[in-house]
């Protein structure tokens, strides 16, 4: 009679995993395959399905201890559904964060791959966003990290906060003849943050949801003239893609986290311009 069950090596291939992983799950009592006289493991359909379950639970972020409680029936339906909802919500955040990291990195790769380091364009549908604006007289004070921290401490200490860089908001038209005075400095407020405190403390501004053109570019300190070139490139891109600018204001975001191989006086920036498709 031929063998009915599967060997460890076969399970390893089926699930694209390693024998050490299977051994680990067995050691902690998550799997219990049949053990032969010569100590070979044999996995039947039940063990296979159990491993399938272990792997989904792992991908959802459960610990092996939680898995044991869930899979050994030490949990009722209510509790189980609650845990599942928590974990899918966490996964939601993780996924959208990873998508953001991936997209920004791809944009950086695209930009750096070009010989002339010029520009990289993408178009995305964006949610509405809210920004805290700093009073102009506070701008010089932003040179000190401590003042920066103190200025936004209410924001930073709140639950939903995640790390942000300062942004600039200015008028699209001022790109022609850019002066520092035309721009205002701000910081994004996370969704799900209680706005009541914030609105009392800070001046805010919001951008509506819709289609935005992201322009990634390398800015060399003091090279303000490059911004004029930038505008002509943007206009060319808009014309070629049948788009028009749809808002007076433009947001400029610094990406120091992506400037790894850039020189000290250079920085990677993203400009977001609201656009709409021409009819």
Q: Write out the residues near DNA by the rule CB under 7 A.
A: 3, 7-10, 18-21, 23-24, 36, 38-41, 58, 63-65
Number of residues forming the site for a copy of itself (CB under 8 A): 61
**Which one of a copy of itself, DNA, none is in contact with 218 (Cβ closer than 5 to 8 A by kind)?**
none
One residue of 65, 98, 224, 263 binding a copy of itself per CB under 8 A? 98
- CB of residue 64 vs DNA: minimum separation in angstroms? 4
One residue of 92, 176, 203, 226 binding a copy of itself per CB under 8 A? 92
Q: Which of 189, 206, 185 is nearest to 198 (CA)?
A: 189
| Residue 161 is a binding residue for a copy of itself (CB under 8 A) | yes
One residue of 109, 195, 209, 278 binding a copy of itself per CB under 8 A? 109
Strands 184-189 and 129-133: antiparallel
Place of tokens 């005075």: 181
**Which one of a copy of itself, DNA, none is in contact with 52 (Cβ closer than 5 to 8 A by kind)?**
a copy of itself
**Which one of DNA, a copy of itself, none is in contact with 41 (Cβ closer than 5 to 8 A by kind)?**
DNA
- CB of residue 19 vs DNA: minimum separation in angstroms? 6
Alpha-carbon span 45 to 89, nearest angstrom: 31
For 217, residues 6+ apart whose C-beta sits below 8 A from its C-beta are 111, 118, 119, 120, 226, 230, 268, 269, 270, 271
| Residue 118 is a binding residue for a copy of itself (CB under 8 A) | no
**Which one of a copy of itself, DNA, none is in contact with 79 (Cβ closer than 5 to 8 A by kind)?**
none
For 66, residues 6+ apart whose C-beta sits below 8 A from its C-beta are 57, 83
**Mask: binding to a copy of itself, 12-41, rule CB under 8 A, as x and -?**
-xxxx-------------------------
Burial of 265 (0-12, 13-18, 19+ CB in 10 A): exposed
| Residue 99 is a binding residue for a copy of itself (CB under 8 A) | yes
Alpha-carbon span 22 to 11, nearest angstrom: 9
Task: Enumerate binding residues for a copy of itself (CB under 8 A).
Answer: 2-6, 10, 13-16, 43-45, 48-49, 52-53, 55-56, 59-60, 70-71, 77, 80-81, 84-85, 87-88, 91-92, 94-95, 97-99, 101-102, 105-106, 108-109, 112-113, 144-146, 149, 156-157, 161-163, 165, 256-261
């Amino acid at each position: 009679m031929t063998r009915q069950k599967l060997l460890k090596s076969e399970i390893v291939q089926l699930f694209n995993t390693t024998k050490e992983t299977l051994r680990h799950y067995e050691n902690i009592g998550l799997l219990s395959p049949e053990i032969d006289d010569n100590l070979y493991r044999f996995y039947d359909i039940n063990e296979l399905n159990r491993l399938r379950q272990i792997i989904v639970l792992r991908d959802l972020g459960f610990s092996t201890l939680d898995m044991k409680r869930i899979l050994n029936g030490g949990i009722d339906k209510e509790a189980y559904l609650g845990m599942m909802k928590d974990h899918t919500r966490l996964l939601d955040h993780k996924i959208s964060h990873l998508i953001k990291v991936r997209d920004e990195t791809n944009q950086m790769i695209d930009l750096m791959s070009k010989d002339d380091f010029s520009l990289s364009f993408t178009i995305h549908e964006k949610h509405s966003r809210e920004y805290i604006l700093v009073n102009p007289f506070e701008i010089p004070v932003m040179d000190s990290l401590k003042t920066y921290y103190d200025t936004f401490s209410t924001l930073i200490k709140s639950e939903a906060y995640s790390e942000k860089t300062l942004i600039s908001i200015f008028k699209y038209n001022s790109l022609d003849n850019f002066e520092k005075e035309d721009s205002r400095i701000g910081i994004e407020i996370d969704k799900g943050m209680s706005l009541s405190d914030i609105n009392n403390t800070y001046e805010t501004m919001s951008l509506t949801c819709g289609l935005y053109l992201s322009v990634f570019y390398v800015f060399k300190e003091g090279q303000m003239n490059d911004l004029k070139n930038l505008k002509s490139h943007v206009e060319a891109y808009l014309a070629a893609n049948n788009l028009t600018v749809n808002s007076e204001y433009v947001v400029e975001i610094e990406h120091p986290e992506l400037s790894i191989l850039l020189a000290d006086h250079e920085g990677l920036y993203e400009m977001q311009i609201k656009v709409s498709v021409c009819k």
